[in-house]
Structure 1
Amino acid sequence: MSPISLDLGVIGNAAAAALVDRAGSIVWMCAPRMDGDPVFCRLLGGEDGTTAGETGDWSIRIERMASSRQSYVRNTAILETVLEDEDGNGLRITDFAPRFKAAGRMFRPLTLIRIIEPLKGAPRVSVLMRPRWNYGAHAPETTRGSNHIRFILGEQVLRLTTNAPVEFVQRGTPFLVDRPYAFVFGPDERLAAHPLDTAHSLLRETRDYWIDWVRSLHLPADWQDVVIRSAITLKLCSHEETGGIVAALTTSIPEYGATGRTWDYRFCWLRDSFFTVKALNALGATRTMEDYLGYVSNIAAASPQGYLQPLFGIGLERRIDEEIAGSLDGYRGLGPVRRGNAAYSQVQNDGYGSVILSVIQYFFDERLPGMGEESLFRRLEPLGEQAFARWDVPDAGLWEFRTRNSVHTHSSLMCWAACDRLARIAAKLGLADRVDFWRGRADTIRDGILARAWNEEQKAFVSTFEGSDLDASLLLIPEIGLLPADDPRFLSTLAAIEKHLRFGHHLYRYRAPDDFGEPETAFTACTFWLIDALARVGRADDARAIFEDVLAHRNHLGLLSEGIHVDTGELWGNYPQTYSMVGLINAAMRLSRRWEDML
């Protein structure tokens, strides 16, 4: 059994998602949604990856394994793992979740497909299929047929259909791989064709879909492979049926060690979704924005006064109560494992700006088949009213402090952005009275931020009004548009942040102790904000050096988690983190040479 780490591949189809380790074991998958019960949960099974006497994974183990290598099929979400034994026998595992257009709509079932085929000699493998339910607490009841096994996992039933000997799979008996075998795991439904024929047909369709999707992206001249992999990963973190976007596919990967900072990120944060939508829009992948517009429109319709909580379930759930799942020991035994996130009940006032910034392109992008009209603008105005009412009201802030509230500069900045963008939208729609109305409100907030967030002693904007501490979100001031990057006040703020929060090529989000003490890992999204700020002020060489260092800290498949430990360079935090993958795209787009300079 391979050791637990974040050297994991991601497969998915914007409905199902799973994580695969270097040895070809699926160690994490939730069903029936990305925020559901982890039917494969070895990732959180403790230091040795065991849970309640079982491993909670789906392993394909080659006997006497000598080596493994892993890569994605170029420009797809199809993962290949090649295993060799000590005698040179080898096999390939191809993992994917079907996704393609059929009958005029997207086919994206809650299904994983695995194909194993010999490459050299006749390797022997054991296929160990051991799902769990109720967060690792229970093994399923099973029934079997001539070519399938049914797993009764609480209230859901999943089926594995295969052309491999079912007896060997059910008992974990080693067998020779002298021909291709397919494994189709998903709903309790019979296949209409032979499992191998089904798997190969779905593989071809899925490969063609992803290649076409990537072909449509507007890529920078440099680091195209980085951008492509990041964009695909962001797409896999969307729940296309509802339009929601999860912050990460996992729960409870610690921010670092035994800190107790273990949070469930399998929900839709309004601010995280804004950054994801913005990055995909920059690449021309606007469909996610269109789906997300439907998601937030449903949220707004259920919030007639415009109040927004900071996060929602991917099915629009408003209650996401936080509980400890005691049946799982946690990543490397570093619990607790949490299901749900109590931050949903916090006041975080940046969400109003996040939503409006997410959909503003809808009013200006002529490529879209249906552009934003006055009716959509009117639905957004209550969010602006809330932003204006709350811009100087204490909240938990984007870092979600659990024991204290303040008037956070970033929240006020996003409230300003909400009013500012409503004024711009009104101008586009020719609504002169609403332009004046929202411009006046934006100016009021702007004046307040400039007066109350500036600390003369620090010569910098600070985290809270009339405060003295710094945090990395202040680097977003020029990106959001409150001040240009060459404004002396921003340049001074950048210098202060580098002095107090930058350590080599890493940036902490803040250094002041919080509810759990001082942070021990650099927050990777903040490092990307630093890269953007440096590039904006003309320090492109510095920005590029930091970017190359971050690229070196990605795992073997080019993916990032939430944070990087400054001393060890190890990845920590929930995975894959949309914030971090967005940062890769934004940095590559900003630092790349122009196409004209390449040709």
Structure 2
Amino acid sequence: MSEPNLDLGVVGNGSFGALIDRHGRVVWSCLPTFDGDPTFCALLQPNAQEGGDFAIELEDMTGSEQQYLTNTAILRTVLYDKHGGALEIIDFAPRWRNNDRFYRPVSLIRQVRPLKGSPRIIVRARPLANWGADVPDATWGSNHIRWVLPDHVLRLTTDVPLRFVRDQLPFVLNHPVHLVLGVDETLTRSISGYVQEAFQRTRDYWREWVRYLSIPLEWQDAVIRSAITLKLCQYEDSGAIIAAMTTSIPEAPGSIRNWDYRYCWLRDAAFVVRALNRLGATRTMEQFLGYIFNLATADGSLQPLYGIGFEAKLDEHEVATLDGYRGMGPVRRGNLAWVQRQHDVYGSVVLASTQLFFDQRLQDPGDTHTFARLEPLGEQAFALHDVPDAGLWEFRGRTEVHTYTSAMCWAACDRLCKIAVRLKLDERATYWRDRANVMHARILREAWSEDLGHFTDTFGGHRLDASLLLLADIGFIEADDARFVATVDAIGRDLKHGNALYRYVAPDDFGEPETSFTICTFWYIDALAAIGRLDEAREMFEMLLERRNHLGLLSEDLAFDNGEAWGNFPQTYSHVGLITAAMRLSRSWQEAS
């Protein structure tokens, strides 16, 4: 078996996700939800049990190819053997509109068919329980196997002879076969008929969804793939948007910067909402705001992150039963960032909410009652804009007054003013404008360094970090302001290495950063375009696109030397950056006509 890597595809449907490698092997899937027990956990290498995967293994395999069906979340893998044989695997999770709601069961469908020759395969379905510690008890019937897991029962229904699957026996694939993995429910119809209908309806759903995206003229494939990936990272039961589907993929080899990202960071989710809003996919915003309003306390106080089921406590533990990605532990479950103070979340939520009041296409636009629910967030932002916090990079060993945090707190008050003007609430508009003005003046005074000639990462500080590139994007300062241009220049000088960026270079709790933070490179590209350096921005953007994996997906980090992907996957932040930069850089549709 080859060493794990992030050349992975993702399939899902808003209820769960699964990661599939180049050979058509499911190596990661938490069931029945994103934050559940990793039933398929081979990506992080169980250290006591064999398995943790769901493979269609081709004997004497010599190669493979893989792509998504155009404008869908349906993955096609073709495997070749040394005898001239070939087979095709189609993987997808069912999703379509049914009776005024979406049918999206916790179910992975796999269709396998021969393309040429007489391929000989083994079906290996080997779920594990309790984070790779245990092999679950199994029972079987005439056409299904059931695995009894601690919190649910998993059923595989198939038209492959059951003993072939149960005993992992090799057989010649001479006709299409179907495998439906999901909850313990009986399939009351022909499996082949159900799979064909599910395939067609799921394909049609995704192509219809993509059809209504407002995509740029250039880089359409990249933007569409990123948009679909972001959509797959929303847990639609609650509206939460996870940062990534994995836990504990190191940010750099052996760095122990291994974190659990299967939760909803309000900041990351707000970026996702803004990116999809730019493409016209507004339903995600409406669902996310429902999630937020279920979380916000009476005084508007918020944590930086929550569980997908509104859990506030996400205690962090190390998991001894998994070796980790390439053996690089620790594997962590939970994330202690929930106890941190990250005050930029107030600005993030208000920014994500603003379109609700201005977009006339929405079924339930924002009104005075919605505005009243946002105002406590503004009060928190004003009260905390100059109070030290952990910052968006979640420093565990220090707190300071971070410039980005303060600017986002300003953004909360600024947007509340704009919303109040829209709603003709003159008194509230004046109130929030006055607060925003006070904050704006303070930030300019404290975060600009005359000696250094650029903005700094903290009030009265001396360091740079890439979040300063967002000051123009959020409207805090004009892109052509000499102070912003100077800051972009300084970041290019100090944080850019080759064609990628560090988020910062100063040592933190775990030493000096070693890899580029992909979203920061996209921020730099966007800032270059904003200040007029378009050719340079386009060149960097094209180079970064080449660093995506073979399916167009991105993790959190990239190695500077060889471009290898590191960090959790697929990373919503990174795909947000791709969409935003493409929208900024693309030629207009008028230029094509």
Letter of the aligned partner of 2:460 in structure 1? E
For residues 489 and 362 of structure 1, what CA distance do their matches in structure 2 show?
32
Distance 1:168 1:234 in 2: 37
Structure 2 CA distance for aligned equivalents of residues 184 and 386 of structure 1: 48
Q: Distance between the aligned counterparts of 2:289 and 2:9, measured in 1?
A: 29
Structure 2 residue aligned with 1:383: 377
Q: Does 1:348 align with 2:342?
A: yes
Q: Which among 396, 399, 408 is matched to residue 414 of structure 1? A: 408
Counterpart-to-counterpart distance in 2, 1:42 and 1:326 = 15
Structure 1 position 171 matched with structure 2 position 167: yes
The equivalent of 2:452 in structure 1 is 458
Question: Conserved in 1, the CA contact under 8 Å of 2:10 and 2:17?
Answer: yes
Deviation of 1:295 (Å): 0.6
- SS in structure 2 of the partner of residue 332 of structure 1: helix
C-alpha distance after superposition, 1:290-319 (max 9, x if no partner): 11111111112xx11111110000111100
Provide the alpha-carbon RMSD of the alignment. Answer: 0.7
Structure 2 match to 1:475: 469
1:51 Cα deviation from its structure 2 partner: 3.5
User: How many residues were matched structurally?
Assistant: 593
Match of 1:135 among 128, 131, 142: 131
**Matches for 1:25-424 after TM superposition, within 5 Å:** 25-45=25-45, 50-300=46-296, 303-424=297-418
- Give the C-alpha shift of residue 588 in structure 1: 1.1
Give the TM-score of the pair, scaled to structure 2: 0.99
Distance in 2 of aligned mates of 1:540 and 1:576? 28
* Partner deviation per Cα, 1:52-75 (whole Å, 9 max, x = no partner): 131210011000001100000010
Deviation at 1:399, TM superposition (A): 0.2
Please give the secondary structure, in 2, of the residue aligned with 1:478: coil
1:2–1:23 contact (8 Å) kept in structure 2: no
How far is 1:563 from its partner? 0.7
Match of 1:544 among 538, 546, 568: 538
| Structure 2 counterparts to residues 439-588 of structure 1, below 5 A | 439-588=433-582
- In structure 2, distance between residues paired with 1:165 and 1:344: 48
Distance in 2 between the 1:587 and 1:437 partners?
A: 34
Tell me if structure 1 keeps the 8 A contact 2:3–2:326.
no
Letter of the 2:412 counterpart: A
Distance 1:194 1:163 in 2: 9
Supply the distance in 2 between the matched residues of 1:210 and 1:569 (Cα, whole angstroms).
31
What is the CA distance between 1:222 and its match in structure 2?
0.5
Query: Structure 2: how far apart are the matches of 1:155 and 1:346?
Result: 30
Deviations 1:458-493 (A, max 9, x none): 111101101101000000000010110010111111
Q: Equivalents in 1 of 2:493, 2:470: separation in Å?
A: 17
**1:504-542 alpha-carbon deviations (Å, 9 max, x no partner):** 210100000000000000100000000110000110000
Deviations 1:59-108 (A, max 9, x none): 11000001100000010000000001101111100000000001111000
Cα distance in 2 for partners of 1:581, 1:466 equals 33
1:133 to partner: Cα distance: 1.0
Which residue identity is paired with 1:136?
Answer: G
What per-residue deviation string (whole Å, max 9, x for no partner) do you get for residues 137-185 of structure 1? 1111000001000001112111000000110101110011111110000
Q: Match for 2:351: what amino acid?
A: L
Alignment partner of 2:471: what SS? helix
Give, as a single letter, the amino acid of the residue that structure 2 aligns with 1:114. R
The two structures have a TM-score, normalised by structure 1, of 0.98
**Residue 2 (structure 1) shift:** 3.5
Question: Which amino acid counterpart does residue 202 of structure 1 have in structure 2?
Answer: A
Partner Cα separation in structure 1 for residue 182 and residue 513 of structure 2 = 40
Cα distance in 2 for residues equivalent to 1:243 and 1:518: 36
Partners of 2:123 and 2:320 in 1: how far apart?
28
- Identity, in percent, stands at 57
**C-alpha separation in 2, matches of 1:342 and 1:242:** 22
CA distance in 1, matches of 2:224, 2:562: 27
Unaligned runs of 5+ in 2: none
Gapped runs of 5+ residues in structure 1? Answer: none
Distance 1:341 1:186 in 2: 28
- What secondary structure, in the 3-state scheme, does the structure 1 residue paired with 2:267 have? helix
How far the C-alpha of 1:192 sits from its partner, in A, is 1.3
Structure 2 Cα separation of the partners of residues 155 and 10 of structure 1:
24
State how far apart, in whole Å, the 1-side matches of 2:17 and 2:197 are: 20
Distance 2:424 2:266 in 1: 28
Q: Distance in 1 between matches of 2:248 and 2:511?
A: 18
Offset from partner CA, 1:408-446 (integer Å, 9 cap, x none): 001001000000000000000001110111001001110
Paired position in structure 1 for 2:17: 17
Q: Secondary structure of 2:195's partner?
A: helix
Corresponding residue of 2:425 = 431
1:237-287 alpha-carbon deviations (Å, 9 max, x no partner): 000111000000100000001111000001000110111001100111001
Cα distance in structure 2, aligned partners of 1:219 and 1:155: 41
Work out the CA distance in 2 between the residues paired with 1:377 and 1:419: 12
Q: Distance in 2 between matches of 1:316 and 1:53?
A: 33
Residues of 2 paired with 1:537 and 1:578: CA distance?
Answer: 26
Q: Which runs of 4+ in 1 moved over 2 A?
A: none
**Paired letter, 2:477:** L
User: Contact between 2:49 and 2:133, CA under 8 Å: does it hold in 1?
Assistant: no
Cα distance in 2 between the residues matched to 1:463 and 1:338: 29
Kept after mapping to 1: 8 A contact 2:128/2:135 = yes
The answer to whether the 8 A contact 1:163-1:182 is kept is yes
